[in-house]
């Protein structure tokens, strides 16, 4: 019988071609995502170096399972990262990921030390990582070790792949998780995968600064100097040229 062949959708492109395509499209950054970027480290590194020379920012969307040596090598060209903090219990990581929690936490602390803009995303899955105590521990880690200005994205789970028997995350659970993050002192906590829940609000006066719909920005009231127009409080973030 003929061997079954598998094809990966996409087009081959050199690092040079990626950077040129980004410039032609008017992009201000390149995100390395939808496959863990560290598994194609050399390719991403070559692309990021060229992008940096062209004035483009580089962003990792990653599981955070990285060594200090890797981050110290890459960090001159890495502007920002969004790390999936999949749980805050080592046993959960071992059971569902086949990895350990500790290296992820260590990598985030290294990124913070290196000055990489860091955001954290937790996919809240019913019965697996939605316990209030676990969410509080995660929020406390982000606030205490990464800083209260670090955005924490609390995303809604939908059944897929090997977890079709798990129901979607109830919206009240996500809103409770957001409350837990705010109680821990975090200034920017977002509910993801729920329409109308991902707006940026001034942590000082409560004014809505950025209103979003999916990936689109509907309103942006942050002043050119990076402050709230209502009370003048600085808004954390990275300015893109």
Architecture of domain 63-196: Alpha-Beta Barrel (3.20)
The CA-atom distances, in angstroms, between 59 and each of 86, 91, 102, 119, 228 are 19, 29, 23, 11, 26
Q: CB of 30 within 8 A of CB of 13?
A: no
What integer pLDDT is reported at residue 238 of this predicted model?
Answer: 81
Q: CB of 59 within 8 A of CB of 80?
A: yes
38 pLDDT higher than 70: yes
What integer pLDDT is reported at residue 196 of this predicted model?
Answer: 83
Mean pLDDT of 208-225: 93
180 pLDDT higher than 60: yes
User: What is the β-pairing status of strands 80-84 and 117-124?
Assistant: parallel
Residue 12: how many other CB atoms lie within 10 Å: 5
Which residues have a Cβ under 8 Å from the Cβ of 117 and sit 6 or more positions away? 79, 80, 81, 237, 238
CA dihedral 123, 125, 128, 133 (to 10 degrees): 70
List the one residue out of 44, 102, 51 whose CA is nearest residue 74: 44
For the chain, residues classed under CATH 3.20.20.70 are 63-196
Q: 114: pLDDT confidence band, cut at 50, 70 and 90?
A: very high
4 pLDDT higher than 90: no
Q: 171: pLDDT confidence band, cut at 50, 70 and 90?
A: very high
Q: 11: pLDDT confidence band, cut at 50, 70 and 90?
A: confident
Helix (H, G, I), strand (E, B) or coil at 53: helix
Q: Where are the alpha helices (DSSP H) in the chain?
A: 15-24, 41-53, 68-74, 90-92, 102-114, 132-141, 171-183
Beta bridge partners of 152: 120, 189
129-154: b (≥16 Cβ within 10 Å) or e: bbeeebbbebbbbbbeebeebbbbbb
The backbone torsions φ and ψ at residue 62, rounded to the nearest 5 degrees and listed phi first, read -145, 160
What integer pLDDT is reported at residue 123 of this predicted model?
Answer: 98
């Amino acid at each position: 019988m003929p061997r079954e062949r598998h094809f990966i959708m996409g087009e081959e492109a050199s690092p040079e071609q990626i950077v040129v395509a980004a410039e032609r499209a008017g992009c201000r950054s390149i995100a390395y995502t939808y496959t863990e970027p560290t598994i194609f480290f050399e390719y991403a590194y070559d692309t990021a170096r060229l992008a940096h020379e062209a004035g483009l920012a580089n962003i990792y969307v990653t599981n955070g399972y990285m060594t200090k040596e890797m981050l110290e090598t890459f960090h001159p060209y890495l502007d920002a990262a969004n790390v999936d903090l999949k749980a805050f219990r080592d046993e959960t990581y071992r059971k569902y990921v086949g990895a350990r929690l500790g290296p992820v936490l260590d990598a985030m602390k290294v990124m913070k030390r290196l000055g990489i803009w860091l955001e954290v995303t937790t996919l809240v899955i019913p019965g697996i990582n939605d316990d209030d105590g676990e969410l509080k521990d995660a929020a406390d880690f982000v606030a205490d070790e990464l800083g209260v200005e670090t955005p924490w994205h609390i995303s809604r789970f939908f059944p897929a792949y090997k977890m079709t028997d798990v129901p979607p995350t109830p919206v009240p659970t996500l809103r409770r998780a957001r409350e837990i993050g705010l109680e821990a002192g975090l200034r920017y906590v977002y509910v993801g995968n729920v329409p109308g829940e991902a707006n940026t609000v001034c942590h000082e006066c409560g004014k809505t600064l950025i209103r979003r719909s999916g990936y689109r920005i509907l309103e942006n009231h942050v002043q050119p100097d990076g402050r709230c127009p209502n009370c003048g409080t600085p808004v954390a973030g990275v300015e893109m040229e």
